[in-house]
Structure formats: structure tokens, C-alpha cells
Amino acid sequence: MKRTAVIIGGGVSGLSAAYKFVQAGWNAHLLEARDELGGLTRSMDLGSGRIERYYHFICGGDTHLLRLADELGVADKIHFAPAPVGHFYRGRMYPFSTALDVLRFSPLSVADRMRLGWHTLKAQKRTDWRPLDEITAKEWLLSTVGPRVYEVLWRPLLEIKFGPYHDQVSAAWLWHRMWRVGTSRKSAMESDAMGYFEGGSETLLNALAEAARKGGAEISTGVKAQKIVGDGDGRWRVATDKGDVEGDAVVMATPLPVAADLVREEMPAWSEALGAVPYLGVVCALLRAEKSVTDYFWVNVNDERVAANGFIEYGNLNRGREVWGGDTLYVPMYLPATDPRFAWSDEEWAKHLGDGLGVIDAAYPGRVTAKIVTRDVFAQPVCTPGFAERTPSMVGPKKGVLLVEASQLYPSDRCLSGMIGLAGIAVRRAGESDR
């Protein structure tokens, strides 16, 4: 008889798991709490087309994603384009894409620039990350590139992503990020090329959902899992707000805090470990304007007049394929959901994140014709030193309950490709845990 897998979460991880389960000969039933699929890659309807709520780019080394896109017949919807980087420092924009840009970056002394270039090159060639798991990124940077480079360049970069945790993140995490971006680089003298899906990440998501359904998977949206309960005989029951769903295996493809809640009663020690990892939420303003602020794809900002530490001019990557007939710009800010600012209205956030762009281009705020704010309570796990030892296990302490979560990619950052890879491993492990 066919075994049944229940998958909780309809983001890229859950959908990949559902697809791979049916391919492996299982029944699959996916439960998604929202009325729509996609999780952090979800899109929204603009009337004139659909647009991703958050920016997503693909690196040349994102092999799981590239392979899956090929398998699902959507590889021709991926386009790579130059993705130049700028660094806005105290009122002036500097190009920051190539080795030459680094050498010309005048806010740093010549010695600092050389140190920075050498450190980046070495990091991109490095493979042994274990010693970096023991220290923070801040400690690593201070001891290699020094305090001035840290303050001018790296601190704002870490702040974009980790807000109040920027000085606690492990050096191994930062190393992997530098290494991954390096996989998109053809030469030190050219901008990195980044990829994107025509139609947004939804192009992949839709193809995945369709292939999973074709294979027999049941996909239920608007169903919130509440807890996972064992029947003592190796079968599992997922209690939801719409009734119970049973299976031989359960894969939680949700952020750690949600997973911790789901197994709190059944596996309290595991729940405690999962719940102990700090997690950040995200608020992101998506702005439409007739003309972009800069010609860069990614801009880091270190200027006290600008609230955001950076912004992403997606319209400079998918030029000619913008869905709303104008430039698309994302301004993200990561912060714990407990931060009182998380409760600000969309208008307050759009103003807070968007108005600062007027420091870079005074006419820009007047050109903005649409502002959309999206927020997610759980967006980014924070991996502090020693995380290699504390990485949450994929297989729970009781057979048949598994977890697929971004922190398991450590030292890699969360990324679509990594999550697709993890989902594949989880499906194989679920087979192994069969009685």
C-alpha cells in the first residue's frame, strides 16, 4: 500500500517535498495556512500582472534550483543579467562591483582597500569554514580587514540582514555568503551576473505545484496545522483548524518557531531546541517609479539620514520585463517581530523606508507612483557562533517526523536552491525512517 506524507507549509520547501514524495511513489498531502502558496516567494496581483512581494535573485551556483527548473520545463524562463552593486557612503554613491571599484573606493585608505580586496578574494577561494564557526563575523572582519573597513562597509551590510543581531552572526555564515556570490562572478573585472525568473519566482512555484498535483499530490490552502500527534504505532496525525490529517510521515516545511509549536507536546526537548534559535521578521517596501534611483541592482547604504541599510533596484536586473510598466525597487528591513516598529502601519513603513531615498536622488520620492508594504513575522534565522553543533536536525527524535528549515543550510544563507536540495534529502530520509 502507498504510504502517505503530510507536508506542512506551501513555500518552495513544502512544494518541492510534495513533488519529490509523489515522484518517490508516496501519496502527498500538503497543508498551507495561507489562502495562497509560495510563502516568502509569494506574489500579488496588480491587476496589470503579478509581482513578487520580495526580491529574489538566482546565483550561478544555485544548482538544485537550476536543475529543478530544467526538469519542470521552466529553465528558459530564467535570465541572467549583470547585477552591478553600488555603495552609498555619506552622501556619495560609489560603484562597488569589480576589483577595480574596490581599489578606487576613496572613503578607505589605499592599505585598507588592498586588505579588503585580498580578504574577499581569499574568502571566495576558501573551503574550510569550520574555524569561522567559532567566531562572529564582526570578530573575523575586525581581525582581517580592520575597524575602518568594518565600519564603512561591512557593518551596514550585516545590518541590512540582521538588524539588532548584526554583531552576533557567525563568521562562517558571512564567509558562505561571500563564496556564493563569487559563484556568479566570471572575472574580478566584471559585475556579478544574477538570475531571475520571468514572471518571478512564482513561475517555478506554479510549475512545482502543477507537477506535484499531476503526480497525485493533494494541496490544501487555508489549512493551518496546529499540532502533530503520534498514535503510538508509527502513524501521525496533524491536527488543523479544519480537522485532522493522517500520514505515515510528516514533514514540517515551516520556520523554526512554527515547527517548535507543532511538536511542543509530542517532542518537548526537540521543540525547545528549535524554539531557541533567534528569528527575525522582515518588513519590505516595494516602490514603483517612472525612473530608477540609480543604475545599480543592489545598493548598500551607510548614511545616517537614510533609515534603510540598502535597497534593491530589481528593475535594473529584469529590465524590459517589469510587470508594472515602471521601475521596481525593494527596501527591506529585518527586525524581530517583537520590535514595536513591527506594528507600524504600512503608510508609516513606506515613509520610513522610502523617504530616505530622497537623500540619494531628491526627485525620487516625487516620482513614486505606488507603494506596497509586505511583512513576515518569520523571515530569517540568526546563526550565531557554534551553530554547526546546534544546527536543527532534519529527522526528529521520533520516527516519521521531519523538518526542512533554512537554518539547516548553515553555513549557507537561506536560499531557494538550498531549500529545494533539503526537501529532496528529507524525502529520502522519510523513506529510510519507514518501519
Ligand X SMILES: Cc1cc2nc3c(=O)[nH]c(=O)nc-3n(C[C@H](O)[C@H](O)[C@H](O)COP(=O)(O)OP(=O)(O)OC[C@H]3O[C@@H](n4cnc5c(N)ncnc54)[C@H](O)[C@@H]3O)c2cc1C
Integer Cα distance of 228 and 245 in angstroms:
10
Cβ closest to ligand X, residue 151 vs residue 246: 246
Find the shortest distance in angstroms from Cβ 429 to ligand X. Answer: 16
Cβ closest to ligand X, residue 86 vs residue 332: 332
Give the footprint of ligand X on residues 256-285 (CB under 6 A).
258, 282, 284
Binding status of residue 193 toward ligand X by CB under 6 A: no
Binding status of residue 328 toward ligand X by CB under 6 A: no
Binding status of residue 317 toward ligand X by CB under 6 A: no
Find the shortest distance in angstroms from Cβ 416 to ligand X. Answer: 4
Q: Which grid cell is 246?
A: 493522517
What's 170's DSSP letter? B
Cβ closest to ligand X, residue 107 vs residue 164: 164
Helix then strand then coil, % of the chain, to nearest 5: 40, 25, 35
HSE at residue 86, side-chain half, CA atoms within 13 A, is 20
Integer Cα distance of 172 and 364 in angstroms:
38
Residue that is written with C-alpha cell 525597487 in the block: 329
Give CA separation, 2 vs 270, 292, 372, 398, in Å. 29, 54, 45, 21
Find the shortest distance in angstroms from Cβ 115 to ligand X. Answer: 28
Binding piece for ligand X, criterion CB under 6 A, among 26-34, 90-98, 112-120, 135-143: 26-34
Cβ closest to ligand X, residue 151 vs residue 266: 266
Binding status of residue 213 toward ligand X by CB under 6 A: no
Find the shortest distance in angstroms from Cβ 258 to ligand X. Answer: 4
Find the shortest distance in angstroms from Cβ 310 to ligand X. Answer: 11
**Contact with ligand X (CB under 6 A) among 172, 205, 287, 419:** 419
Find the shortest distance in angstroms from Cβ 156 to ligand X. Answer: 17
Binding status of residue 254 toward ligand X by CB under 6 A: yes
Give CA separation, 62 vs 74, 200, 417, 420, 421, in Å. 15, 16, 5, 10, 10
Residue that is written with C-alpha cell 558571512 in the block: 174
Integer Cα distance of 241 and 8 in angstroms:
13
The dihedral built from the CA positions of residue 41, 407, 241 and 32, taken in this order, carries a sign that is positive
Q: Phi/psi zone of residue 232: left (φ > 0), alpha (ψ -120 to 50 degrees), beta?
A: left
Binding status of residue 247 toward ligand X by CB under 6 A: no
Residues of this chain that bind ligand X (CB under 6 A): 8-14, 31-34, 39-41, 54-57, 224-225, 253-255, 258, 282, 284, 332, 379, 406, 414-416, 419
